[in-house]
Amino acid sequence: MKETGYWTWFIISGLITFFILGLHMLIVHLDGMLGIFSHADGGAVVWENVIQRSRSQFFSIAYIILLGAALYHGFYGLRTILLELGIGKQAQQRLTKFLWLTGILLFLVGTYVSLAVRTMEAPIL
């Protein structure tokens, strides 16, 4: 049951990553044509535009969800590869715990950065 849960969330996180990363790619590569998300001149990757997106509620939430989904998806894949090495049951449990803790830690760091940008008073130039 535990593995079924892991696999189900692996699929769900893959779908989430596909759509939010798709949106991210759309903004970075096509916003020159679309011009929806980049208000300052110079394209989507100009610092002012990056900060502006990061401060919007929609993008903050979207990037935090993307971070969680990408971390889960990536770490599940890494776990699958490592389990194929034929390690023992106890080592498998330790590995799973280690990857969970690392993932959660990275998620907290990323979330902090994402939220910290929102509270900055002036753009950093």
Number of other residues whose CB lies within 10 A of the CB of residue 106: 16
- Smallest gap, in angstroms, from Cβ of residue 89 to other proteins? 8
Among 83, 91, 109, 120, binds other proteins (CB under 8 A): 83
Per CB under 8 A, the segment of 17-25, 42-50, 79-87, 105-113 that binds other proteins is 79-87
Note the Cα 38 to chain centre separation in Å. Answer: 21
Cβ closest to other proteins, residue 2 vs residue 57: 2
User: For 122, which DSSP code?
Assistant: S
Query: Does the footprint of other proteins cover residue 91 (CB under 8 A)?
Result: no
Query: Does the footprint of other proteins cover residue 7 (CB under 8 A)?
Result: yes
Which position has the token pair 């939430």? 61
Which position has the token pair 């993008």? 59
Cβ closest to other proteins, residue 5 vs residue 122: 5
Q: CB–CB of 14/76 below 8 Å?
A: no
First CA to last CA distance, the chain: 50
Note the Cα 110 to chain centre separation in Å. Answer: 8
Query: Does the footprint of other proteins cover residue 90 (CB under 8 A)?
Result: no
Which residues between 9 and 38 bind other proteins (CB under 8 A)?
11
List contacts with other proteins (CB under 8 A): 1-8, 11, 80, 83-86, 92
